[in-house]
């Protein structure tokens, strides 16, 4: 498969009054054309900041993309001019955010906001843009789309707003759609509608999707590849089956264990991870998970492991002790 | 548990809570009602956890608050350990509240930022004049230990704690009066996954240790199924199905429960691939203007004519399995 995006050593920090927040730390990975990548992790693990860094939407100050490369379609997005970047956003990479209540402007109609994108990026006139906006709303499953163009966001329900956001994101046929917790604010039956919609549209349009979430359940249904993030690092990366069936990083194992499953046998106790994630201002020199890890040895406290291949080429884990975690060594 | 051994701690009968919609600023005309809870009946047995699930706006939180008489019910009965709560005077109700406590969803909003942890946990002891002086201090320290916090933290303020730790403070406060019933209103929804498991495990340990009864309100079905003995599913102000946690997963009878169960993501790619999903269309109607007949008829995949005319009766179709649906008929036995 062709590589769509290659990220090398991306590092983003925030310079705050309290100190330097190490939000994203030297992450590298590649995404293929048409691939679905799930980025999972808990609040503050850097999953959203990493996506915003790709889009160069980090507010500076206090934020700063320190180093790294984001190769997309033959150029490093971190080096291109702001004008060119504006063309990339929306046209080549589109983003859908968590909260559909705040990402639409309440004083303009939904139709106006979709048409604005089309006029700006595709150079359409009013009539063309309106027609296309109607088609887009219909494509994302909004009934009587043509009339709903004149509605204001408050006249839409949460699920419909997220559909409208997806319509807007897809209006220019992007090669990559970044969905940042798109269903977190929605109810489970509505979440199922949105997941279904994105799957269908992806098949139809052939775009790559990056689905950022804290919900390991949602990405199990969607993604082909998973990046597990912790304290700004990718700690494990692999195919969805490897991550769920043969997790190798103690954090991934802990995360899966702490999740109750609807289909589980009752009476099982949840395996909780003791302690709290580290403070990103004062990251330990070694592995950030060491303080909570049961497999910890002295080396873990001093040195951060880099991603290393386990059994297969496309399954990597950042852990000094992965062979012990697997029980390969005693 | 055998049916005969079950003794209800709480009996809720035909409970209704309408919030009036008014127009006009000086003379407020009553123009309609938000039917937040619209005729709900169930029992909570001693020592069990009853899970109450449903989507945003289905009235599950209002049920919890109305049981505690934090909202005055519009209609219906709530009996707590044999006493009709609606017949109690203000003072009597206040004394009764000692036995029923609540844990709230948002540990950032439910703890007073200007009070120390010690005074937050001591507040119920003071209000109900249970303990004072040295005895009170000792109790607070003991409560902090019980919920897994260092008793040394007693003079700290809530902002010095993480979300999970704050929720532990809220739990300590709820335990202070040694209650029988704790209503847990989405106690873990604002916490991260690995912290959720810590709090749920704590709640389970406390239940075993103190013989607590929980009404566990949440929208996360997997978590509710994990912690509950029985589960009730609410939709638009009504309980549509209630049964034990295995039956509701293996044999859901109401079309809404079936759709809800199938919509819950399972963290297993094999299961995700193989299982059948029922995707409901549309959104939940407004509780100010619920549809005629069965209130699920706008989204139900299997409606018949009757669903648009008559409200289905909430019936025990099998032993311990209650459903409100025209298409489900009681088994003969």
Interchain proximity A276–B265, CB inside 8 Å: no
Chain B residue numbers touching A231 (CB-CB < 8 A):
none
Chain B residue with the nearest C-alpha to that of A40: B193
Interchain proximity A264–B226, CB inside 8 Å: yes
Size of interface A-B (CB pairs under 8 A): 128
Tens-place pLDDT, residues B43-90: 999 999 999 999 888 899 999 999 999 999 999 999 999 999 999 998
> Does residue B163 have a pLDDT over 90?
no
pLDDT at B4: 45
- Measured from the Cβ of residue A274, the count of other Cβ atoms closer than 10 Å reads 11
pLDDT at B1: 44
ipTM computed for the complex: 0.80
Q: Is B46 on the interface with A (CB under 8 A)?
A: no
Tens-place pLDDT, residues A93-113: 999 988 777 888 999 999 999
> Does residue B199 have a pLDDT over 80?
yes
- Cα separation, A283 vs A288, in Å, equals 7
- Cα separation, B224 vs B50, in Å, equals 9
Chain A residue with the nearest C-alpha to that of B284: A157
pLDDT at A97: 86
Task: Give B98 to chain A, closest Cα distance, Å.
Answer: 30
> Does residue A328 have a pLDDT over 70?
no
Per-residue burial over A96-107, b = 16 or more CB atoms within 10 Å of its CB, e = otherwise: bbbbbeebbeee
Interchain proximity B265–A273, CB inside 8 Å: no
B105: tokens are: 């969803």
Interchain proximity A189–B259, CB inside 8 Å: yes
Chain A residue numbers touching B202 (CB-CB < 8 A):
none
Q: What mean pLDDT is reported for chain B?
A: 90
Tens-place pLDDT, residues B101-147: 999 988 888 999 999 999 999 999 998 888 888 999 999 999 999 99
Sheet-wide strand order for B49-53: B100-103, B181-185, B213-218, B49-53, B230-235, B238-244, B321-323, B315-318
Angle between helices B163-175 and B117-127 (to 10 degrees): 20
Chain B residue numbers touching A263 (CB-CB < 8 A):
249, 266, 268, 271
Q: Is B253 on the interface with A (CB under 8 A)?
A: no
Interchain proximity A264–B271, CB inside 8 Å: no
Interchain proximity B263–A189, CB inside 8 Å: yes
Closest CA to A247 of A234, A237, A260, A232: A237
Predicted structure pTM score: 0.86
Interface test with A, best of B166, B195, B265 (most A CBs within 10 A): B265
Give the SS3 label for residue B65.
Answer: helix
Q: Is B276 on the interface with A (CB under 8 A)?
A: no
Chain B residue with the nearest C-alpha to that of A191: B263
Give yes or no for a cis peptide into B248 (omega within 30° of 0). Answer: no
> Does residue A199 have a pLDDT over 80?
yes
Give the Cα-Cα-Cα angle B79, B85, B90 (nearest 5 degrees). 170
pLDDT at A115: 93
**Cβ proximity of B187 and B103 under 8 Å:** yes
> Does residue A211 have a pLDDT over 50?
yes
Angle between helices B133-146 and B117-127 (to 10 degrees): 120
Residue A141: phi and psi, rounded to 5, are 85, 35
- Cα separation, B148 vs B146, in Å, equals 5
Task: Give A252 to chain B, closest Cα distance, Å.
Answer: 10
> Does residue B332 have a pLDDT over 70?
no
pLDDT at A72: 93
pLDDT at A121: 87
């Amino acid at each position: 498969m062709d590589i769509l995006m290659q990220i090398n050593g991306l590092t983003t920090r925030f310079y705050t009054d309290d100190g330097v927040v190490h939000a994203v730390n030297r992450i590298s990975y590649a995404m293929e054309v048409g691939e679905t990548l799930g980025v999972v992790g808990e609040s503050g693990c850097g999953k959203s900041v990493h996506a915003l860094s790709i889009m160069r939407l980090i507010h500076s100050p206090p934020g700063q993309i320190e180093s790294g490369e984001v190769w997309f379609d033959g150029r490093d997005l971190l080096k291109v001019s702001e004008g060119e970047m504006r063309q990339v956003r929306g046209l080549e990479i589109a983003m859908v955010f968590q909260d559909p209540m705040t990402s639409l402007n309440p004083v303009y109609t939904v139709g106006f906001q979709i048409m604005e994108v089309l006029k700006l990026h595709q150079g359409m006139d009013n009539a063309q843009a309106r027609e296309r906006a109607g088609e887009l709303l219909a494509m994302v499953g909004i009934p009587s789309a043509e009339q709903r163009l004149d509605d204001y966001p408050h006249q839409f329900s949460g699920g419909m707003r997220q559909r409208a956001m997806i319509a807007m994101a897809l209006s220019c046929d992007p090669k990559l759609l970044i969905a940042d917790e798109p269903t977190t604010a929605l109810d489970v039956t509505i979440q199922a509608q949105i997941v279904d919609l994105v799957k269908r549209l992806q098949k139809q349009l052939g775009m790559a999707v990056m689905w950022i979430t804290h919900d390991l359940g949602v990405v199990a249904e969607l993604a082909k590849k998973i990046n597990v993030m912790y304290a700004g690092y990718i700690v494990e990366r692999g195919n969805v089956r490897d991550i769920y069936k043969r997790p190798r990083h103690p954090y991934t194992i802990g995360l899966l264990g702490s999740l109750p499953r609807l289909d589980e046998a009752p009476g099982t106790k949840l395996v909780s991870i003791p302690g709290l994630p580290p403070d990103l201002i004062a990251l330990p020199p070694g592995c950030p998970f060491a303080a909570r890890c049961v497999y910890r040895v002295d080396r873990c406290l001093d040195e951060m492991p880099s991603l290393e291949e386990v059994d297969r080429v496309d399954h990597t884990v950042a852990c000094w002790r992965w062979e012990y975690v697997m029980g390969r060594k005693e | 548990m055998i049916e005969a051994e079950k003794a209800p701690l709480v009996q809720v009968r035909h409970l209704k809570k309408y919030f009036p919609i008014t127009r006009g600023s000086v003379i407020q005309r009553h123009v309609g009602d938000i039917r937040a809870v619209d005729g709900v009946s169930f029992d909570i047995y001693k020592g069990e956890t009853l899970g109450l699930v449903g989507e945003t706006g289905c009235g599950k939180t209002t049920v919890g608050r109305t049981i505690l008489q934090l909202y005055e019910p519009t209609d219906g009965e709530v009996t707590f350990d044999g006493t009709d709560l609606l017949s109690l005077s203000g003072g009597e109700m206040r004394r009764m509240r000692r036995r029923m406590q609540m844990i709230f969803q948002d540990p950032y909003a439910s703890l007073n930022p200007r009070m120390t942890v010690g005074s937050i946990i001591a507040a119920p002891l003071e209000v109900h004049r249970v303990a004072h002086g040295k005895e009170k201090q000792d109790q607070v320290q003991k409560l902090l230990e019980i919920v897994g916090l260092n008793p040394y933290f007693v003079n700290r303020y809530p902002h010095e704690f993480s979300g999970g730790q704050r929720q532990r403070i809220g739990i300590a406060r709820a335990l202070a009066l040694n209650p029988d019933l704790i209503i847990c209103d989405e106690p873990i929804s604002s916490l991260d996954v690995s912290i959720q498991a810590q709090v749920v495990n704590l709640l389970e340990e406390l239940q075993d240790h103190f013989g607590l009864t929980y009404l566990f309100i949440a929208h996360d079905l997997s978590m509710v199924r994990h912690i509950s003995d029985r589960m009730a599913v609410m939709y638009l102000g009504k309980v549509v199905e209630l049964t034990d946690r295995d039956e509701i997963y293996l044999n859901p009878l109401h079309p809404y429960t079936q759709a809800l169960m199938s919509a819950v993501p399972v963290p297993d790619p094999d299961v995700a691939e193989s299982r059948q999903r029922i995707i409901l269309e549309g959104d939940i109607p407004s509780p100010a203007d619920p549809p005629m007949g069965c209130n699920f008829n706008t989204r139900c995949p299997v409606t018949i004519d009757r669903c648009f005319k008559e409200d289905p009766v909430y019936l025990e179709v099998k032993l311990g399995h209650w459903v409100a649906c025209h298409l489900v008929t009681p088994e003969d036995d």
